[in-house]
Amino acid sequence: MKIIFVIALIVLISSSFIPKASGVTLGAFTDNIVYTDGKPLFVYGDALPNETLIVRLFAPDGTIAKFDQITVDKEGMYNHVLLIWPESSTIFPYGTYAVEVISSTQNGISKKINVKFTSTTELVDVPVERQVNTLVFAPETAAVNTQFRIFVQITSDGLLVGGDPSKLLETSHAHLPNDQVQSLSTSFQTLHPGLYFVDYTATSEGTYVFHIVTFSQGTISHGSAATNVLTQDISGISNQILRLNSILDETSGELDKLKSEIEGFGSTLEKASSNIDTSVSSISSSVSNIEEASLQLNSLFFPIVASIGIIVALQIVILARRR
């Protein structure tokens, strides 16, 4: 019995020297969820006594707008005015912000709260959730085996959202004309934070649909654009049109030359017609002269014929009397 009591006493004493695993303690709250110009952003909560906390304010585009480091009091409570909201500007635009409190000792655990910075705090329903917009710009037409570029713009509350495109656009893909799906997750490059592009080459004719999926701070957004791929692009058709225009110009020159020749031939015809008119006039004059001469001849010929007829008649009479 004494042995059991001694063992129990040793276990009890030993357990008193073993450090107890403390539970995770971190609470974070704000005094409001909707703020306007000139209002303080008050952050408070509980944590481990005397530990150091990092308090950050994220802008709508995901960048850090404010950063503070505070110490929890000995009772495990903290309160801190993170900032006084300034007037709206390009640095602090209206939109959805995120307050994050990070513990420096409890394995880096954190709490995040979304708040809204607006022009009014009237009692109306103001959505606090983050809005991410994805715009996709792709050419309407392209040519087979010819590279073309697709642009993507990502914004949140009007601000461009930066980040690693391989993570930000990780599930983006293209729908091919043969109903296959091609991943674009590792193809995007950064033109500017919030502006990304991918160079794409289509290998067959048909309609390609580019489905861009954005995932930023727990919010997902979709955008899409379609490109009709032809055997040749607009530049090839344009070259053919230019060639056709040059051929038409040459044809127009030949027609102008033919027109000038026709005009010369027309003047020749007019001259010939004038000569014919002159000849006709001469012939008409000659015919008139012939007609006049014929009339004169007739006036002389008829008396002679009449005289001859009389003479013949007289001779017949004379011959008849002789018999």
Q: How many whole angstroms separate alpha carbon 105 and alpha carbon 53?
A: 9
| Residue 4 binned pLDDT confidence (cut-offs 50, 70, 90) | very low
pLDDT at 20 over 80: no
Do domains 24-117 and 132-232 share one topology? The answer is yes
pLDDT at 141 over 80: yes
Q: How many whole angstroms separate alpha carbon 115 and alpha carbon 97?
A: 5
Q: How many whole angstroms separate alpha carbon 302 and alpha carbon 296?
A: 10
The b/e string for 229-257 (b: 16+ C-beta within 10 A; e otherwise) is: bbeebeeeeeeeeeeeeeeeeeeeeeeee
CA 321 to chain CA centroid, Å, is: 133
Q: Determine the pLDDT at residue 188.
A: 92
Instruction: For the full predicted model, state whether its pTM sits above 0.85.
Output: no
Q: Which distant-in-sequence residues (6+ apart) come within 8 Å of 205 by Cβ?
A: 144, 177, 229, 230, 231
- Give 57-101 pLDDT, tens digit per residue: 998 888 889 999 999 999 989 999 999 999 988 788 888 899 999
Q: Determine the pLDDT at residue 127.
A: 57
| Residue 153 binned pLDDT confidence (cut-offs 50, 70, 90) | very high
- Give 40-55 pLDDT, tens digit per residue: 999 999 999 999 999 9
pLDDT at 269 over 60: yes
Q: Domain map of the chain by residue range?
A: 24-117, 132-232
Assigned fold of 24-117: Immunoglobulin-like (2.60.40)
Average pLDDT, the chain: 81
How many C-beta neighbours within 10 Å does residue 285 have?
10
- Homologous superfamily of the 132-232 domain (CATH): Immunoglobulins (2.60.40.10)
- Give 198-210 pLDDT, tens digit per residue: 999 998 899 999 9
Integer Rg of the chain from CA: 55
Q: Determine the pLDDT at residue 43.
A: 93
The b/e string for 55-64 (b: 16+ C-beta within 10 A; e otherwise) is: bbbbbbbbee
